[in-house]
Amino acid sequence: MNVRGKTYRAVWMPGRDVVVIDQRLLPHRFKLLRLRNHRETAEAIRNMTIRGAGTIGATAAYGMAQAFLEGVSLPKAYETLVTTRPTAVDLKHALDRVLVEAHDAKTAVAVAERIADEYVARMKRIAEIGCPLIPKNGRVLTHCNAGWLAIVDWGSATAPIYAAHRKRRGVFVWVDETRPRCQGAHLTSWELLNEGVPHKVIADNAAGYFMRHGDVDLCIVGADRIAANGDTANKLGTYEKAVLAKENGIPFYIAAPSSTIDPHCPNGDSIPIEERSEDEVHFVGETRVTPRGARAANPAFDVTPAKYITGIITERGIHKPGEVRKLWRQ
């Protein structure tokens, strides 16, 4: 996708290093980082240098390939990588594939490259499938960042938006800021600006206002894990947007590759929810916004029950939540 007219992926592997865009610095600074071994790659996942289910998966696959190249204990390297982020199931799927399909360092790198390329191909297909859902001059609300930074290229929730924009359908996007890390304000808006997509950033609490006033035609969000019954974990705040959309008669879609489906997870109550540092709530940048001595709770994700989801867009079509179990593909 575009960065000042030049095309990039969110992660790639030239030689033995893994190269990523440091998402912590966006939107004000664009910097590439070289991760020189699997431990540095694991830390980049853990500290959210990179984030987003698909990019986490592809980066983890490259990290496992690095472990092959380094000649270290593969079980230990696997454990180092798989424990970095608990909610996004693509992480484990990608690591398992490298271990199962690779026989040596050369094939491990090839498998990791294949995983990254498959994400790109699946996202292009989601763009094609999801684009017709957006009416001419349609207004789409999204939450967090499910763009190309989050899933190697194209994005999941943004893929139909980018396709509609390139077809000159007049699409407009409401971008939830997504506190506390503000991935919508920092990342989604930055992506849309680089693509030239008209949009406005709104406070998380403003979504209901615009829905009630008829300013939202549909919602499209991404996913970090989809349970077998169609319950979906995504960035905190997704659940309340889905409830508001249902109340206001607005279609609410999940866009994700089939690798995000977890057939071994029966429902949303079984999805592990990552708890992150209180400081992410206490501070905006270096400025503390809460009283000293106050405590904060900071779940990173919530679960949207299947009953609030209009459809799930994967590379294999648009399906009702109850149909996703049969769609799973690593």
Strands of 301-304's sheet, edge to edge?
A: 261-262, 225-227, 232-235, 301-304
Return the number of other C-beta atoms located less than 10 Å from residue 228's C-beta.
19
Element (H, E) at 278: none
Listed in sequence order, the residues at least 6 apart from 89 whose beta carbon sits closer than 8 Å to its beta carbon are 53, 224, 225, 259, 260, 261, 262, 265
Q: How far apart are alpha carbons 253 and 263 in whole angstroms?
A: 20
| Contact yes or no for 146/330 (Cβ under 8 A) | no
Which residue, 198, 216, 196, 199, is CA-closest to 207? 216
> For residue 68, which amino acid is it?
F
The catalytic position among 90, 224, 262, 302 is 224
Exposure letters 16-42 (e unless 16+ CB within 10 A, then b): ebbbbbebbebbeeeeebebebbbbbb
Distances from the Cα of 323 to the Cαs of 119, 122, 225, in angstroms?
A: 21, 19, 15
What the block records as the tokens of 203 is 């406070």
What the block records as the tokens of 24 is 């912590």
Omega within 30 of 0 (cis) for the link into 135:
no
153 classed as catalytic: no
Which are the catalytic amino acids? 224
